[in-house]
A and B are shown apart, each in its own frame.
Chain A
Amino acid sequence: MSAVRFKGVGKRFGSVVALADLDLEIEPGEFVSLLGPSGSGKTTTLNLLAGLLPIDEGEISIGDRVVNHVPPDRRDIAMVFQNYALYPHMSVHENIAFPLRARGRALDDAKIDAMVTGVAGKLGIGELLARYPKELSGGQQQRVALGRAMVREPKVFLLDEPLSNLDARLRLRMRRDLKALHDALGATIVYVTHDQAEAMTLSTRVAVFNHGRLQQFDTPEAIYHRPANIFVGNFVGEREMNLIPGDLAVENGASVVRGRGMAMALGSASPTFSAAAGSRVVLGVRAEGIVPVADPMATDVPARVVATERAGPEVAVFASAGDGIELCCRAEAHAQFGKGQAIGLRFVPEYLHLFDAGSEKSLRIRGSTKEE
């Protein structure tokens, strides 16, 4: 296991900037997810680290070694591809043994066989060694791909959306297995995904990308509760964040955002908020930050139910408030809200995020008096 460091790394495809000025330091043994929508630069980052793409500027190092000009076969990394890339003309055994037979390893057949069997046993695919990839189910292929990566005990594992080709149930199970695997191996893992739930559940830290730029690199907790900007806040989480543009005001020591025909209290004014008073802001709040209450007079924000959606143990309530903006809020499973019903919305101050309307950066992340 090794540290991985990106320093000022950039990559262009023609005139398109795929990745700009990336600084990222991954500690040894960390499980880091690169999260972002397609075209955000996360896969480019992985391919640069793997050596599958030449790097345009900056420096990448694995351990103490700068690997800018080291070809992929000399980087001592293993990679699991989205489509697994199992060699179709080789049996499972041959697939897993393939990295061990590379030149310069000089392992004898008995040793190779022992290693392959060992890894296959760990992954529960010991019975499949004689089969060919096309005779395996998606989950089994996935395990073989993992086995091929594990067998050589590399410095760093690179996983490129390894679960996205599996069905939903299997994906959840493989997620747990991957986490267990990381705990067992203690290896450095770099994991590319566009699925925020995967990134949040698996990682020690998450790097969120957009438009070729790193937006935030922090623990899943911090990413969720203290998003650095509107993009991160909106991208992470089960549902889209409610975004309400407005003006920030400080009245009697408490800050208030007024916009879209509503007034939302943020609690006591922090120094940052006070400094930003009078400026255009965007209030971001996740569904769990808005509590619908049956009595429209009980809160400052009256609203009307537009639709409800039962999602597992709770109910998502879509309500129209203020000048007609539609907000998504979360209610307990037993709550009964009918379409068209007049309700009140209570904003939970702890769940409110304030962003600058121009830069879209969080106003809370620095100098905030109160954090969850």
Chain B
Amino acid sequence: MNAAPSWRRRALVRRAINAAITLTICLFALFPILWGLSTSLKPSGRILAFPPELLPSQPTLEHYRLLVKTGIHGPLANSAIVSFATVVLALVLGTLAAYALARFEFRGKRAILFAVIAIMSIPLPSLLVPSFIFLALLGLTNTLTGLALLYTTYQLPITVWILYGYFRTIPREYENAAMIDGYSRLEALRKVVLPLSGPGLIAAGLFVLTFAWNDFVVAVAMNSSEGARTLPVAIYGYLGFFGREWGPLTAAAMVSVVPVIVIFALFQRYFLSGMSGGGVKG
């Protein structure tokens, strides 16, 4: 190895430094989650032990068992249903709106695009009271439907914006070709544009999904019934339930974090190319 040319050694050193920096940043970002994971696996008595230990010396699943016993699956299912419905609704409506904005010239188009951006800049908390009144008038408080509709409303602007940008990177010729080949515009959208929009759809979908899955503020404001409780609200419940019970709390948090991490890991490649608004097309 000592015969290795100097440029190769330098490249190696540089790569090592890169790796070290990346690792440090990752550890820094991941530490709370790792700490939560570790805490959730410790018996209650040892959680606040000093000195703290990162790797639990007596790992246990007792907190997870408690979650199952207290019925975490209810809120888990609620969150899954609401998130799924929100993603589907936002993508369907967002696709149609974004496609129209990307392809047609019509009066008020600029105003709509401006509104889409303007709405994104309104802070969510300021919308809570009007949203609640509106939802109450419709009789949709304490329902999953109400939540899904609200989430869709909040997330539609960003969905439209991402898809609008993505559709504009797809050459019109594909649709023109499809229409001349005997397909209507909607069929062309479905058979040609959407299959080419995977990265854009995934990027928008992940945005919506993380919002709907993680939202606490809206859910806690709109719902007070146990039946429509979503996971983030349920986690909060574990905090107060047994005083400061860190074990069940972190265990519930882990349950909530894992699905999002898995989905992101699966789609991260598309997410990045979708966000950079283009991606590779044949």
Contact = CB atoms under 8 A, between A and B. Distances in A.
A81 B173 CA distance: 7
Nearest to A50: B180
Contacts of A103: 182-183, 187
A88 to B, nearest CB: 3
Most chain B beta-carbon neighbours within 10 Å: one of A71, A132, A158 = A71
B176 to A, nearest CB: 5
A158 B176 CA distance: 12
A132 B282 contact: yes
A29 interface: no
B176 A81 contact: yes
Interface string A100-124: 0011110000000000000000000
Given A132-B282, A134-B282, A87 B174 contact: yes
Interface stretch (A72-80, A215-223, A227-235, A363-371): A72-80
A85 interface: yes
B180 A73 contact: yes
Interface of B: 171, 173-174, 176-184, 187, 192, 195-196, 281-282
A105 B183 CA distance: 11
A152 B281 CA distance: 27
Interface in A46-98: 50-52, 71-73, 75, 77-79, 81-83, 85-89, 98
A148 interface: yes
Interface residues of A, number: 30
A102 B182 contact: yes
A41 interface: no
Given A103-B183, A132-B282, A81 B196 contact: no
B107 to A, nearest CB: 14
Chain B interface helix/strand/loop/mixed: helix
Contacts of A73: 179-184
A61 B174 CA distance: 25
Given A79-B180, A85-B173, A102-B183, 18 more contacts: A50-B176, A50-B180, A51-B180, A73-B179, A73-B180, A75-B180, A79-B176, A81-B176, A81-B177, A83-B173, A87-B177, A89-B196, A102-B181, A102-B187, A103-B182, A148-B181, A152-B181, A158-B180
A85 B171 contact: yes
A99 interface: yes
Contacts of A102: 181-183, 187
A83 B282 contact: no
A104 B173 contact: no
A77 B180 CA distance: 7
Contact of B176 (A75, A85, A99): A85
Interface secondary structure of A, over-half rule = loop
B282 A72 contact: no
A87 B192 contact: yes
Contacts of B174: 85, 87
A87 B194 CA distance: 12
Contacts of B182: 73, 99, 102-105, 152
A56 to B, nearest CB: 14
Contacts of B178: 87, 98
Interface centre among B182, B183, B184, B281 (most CB of A within 10 A): B182
A89 to B, nearest CB: 5
B181 A98 contact: yes
A83 B179 contact: no
A94 to B, nearest CB: 10
Contacts of B282: 86, 88-89, 132-134
B180 A78 contact: yes
Contacts of B180: 50-52, 72-73, 75, 77-79, 158
Interface string A150-177: 0010000010000000000000000000
Contact of B196 (A50, A88, A99): A88
Contacts of A158: 180
B47 to A, nearest CB: 52
Contacts of B176: 50, 52, 72, 79, 81, 85
Nearest to A154: B180
Closest 10 CB pairs of A and B: A102-B182, A88-B282, A134-B282, A85-B173, A99-B181, A85-B177, A72-B179, A89-B195, A79-B180, A73-B182
B97 to A, nearest CB: 22
B199 to A, nearest CB: 12
A52, A72, A81, A103 — most chain B CB neighbours (10 Å): A72
A103 B188 CA distance: 12
23 contacts: A50-B176, A52-B176, A52-B180, A71-B179, A72-B179, A73-B182, A78-B181, A79-B176, A81-B176, A81-B177, A82-B173, A83-B171, A85-B171, A85-B174, A86-B282, A89-B195, A89-B196, A98-B178, A99-B181, A104-B182, A132-B282, A148-B181, A152-B181
A258 B275 CA distance: 68
B120 to A, nearest CB: 31
Contacts of A132: 282
A148 B182 CA distance: 12
B238 to A, nearest CB: 46
A360 B202 CA distance: 59
A51 B196 CA distance: 24
